[in-house]
Amino acid sequence: MNLLIIYTHPNHKSLCYSFLENVLKGAEENSNINHVHVLDLYEEQFDPILRFNEKKRRRDMHRDPNLETYRLQLLWADKIIFIYPIWWGRPPAMLLGFIDQMFASNFAYKDIGKILPEGLLKGKSVICISTMKGPKHYPLFLLNNAHKVLMKKALFNYVGIKKVKFIEFGNMEGANKGQNKKLQLVYQHVKKLVI
């Protein structure tokens, strides 16, 4: 299995980075995982801003040479793990900008004249690992799970990815919030992953 980890947090001393380290540790000990690649969007200085004009059209985004490396990484991966914080009920703008550009028509999906398009990323699976300052159930009760709906239904299912798992941790700021137990949980989950 080829594992692509898309890490989206600007601070390498953050709790999210500790989750990345535990994902890597679990992947190293998993005999089902052949290769691992980490895409750190902030370190990569990925430009999340969409730009369109007469020369650069949205319909041609799937051929943008500046995004070719990322397209190849997504095609290469059997499983994709996203690691990010939840800010204001949604992933960081950096990750949303990546999604806007990478999950483009004629790369991630193809319009076929029906209600829904044909997803072109079938066979892949996704895990979203996220942290938030507020209570774990805050997004469910006050935001109707907008984050999960956005990621699972409006994005992954649309492009053909049906296996999607969310591992969300709330109340994560401050000392004694059970971080070590949660880091261990992520490590164990990745250590036992199958495609």
Q: What span, in angstroms and rounded, lies between the C-alpha atoms of 83 and 89?
A: 15
Nearest CA to 121 out of 131, 111, 130, 110 is that of: 110
Residue 143 has pLDDT above 80, yes or no: no
pLDDT at 58: 78
Percent of the chain with pLDDT over 90: 65
Report DSSP state, residue 190.
H
Q: What span, in angstroms and rounded, lies between the C-alpha atoms of 121 and 101?
A: 15
> How many Cβ atoms are within 10 Å of 99's Cβ, its own excluded?
21
For residue range 92-141, list pLDDT tens digits in order: 999 999 999 999 999 999 998 888 899 999 999 999 999 887 555 554 44
Amino acid at 85: P
66's CB contacts (< 8 A; 6+ apart) are none
Domain limits, the chain: 2-191
Mean pLDDT, all residues of the chain: 89
For residue range 45-60, list pLDDT tens digits in order: 999 998 888 877 878 8
Q: What span, in angstroms and rounded, lies between the C-alpha atoms of 7 and 9?
A: 6
pLDDT at 37: 98
Q: What span, in angstroms and rounded, lies between the C-alpha atoms of 192 and 1?
A: 12
* CATH class held by domain 2-191: alpha beta
Nearest CA to 131 out of 93, 160, 171, 162 is that of: 171
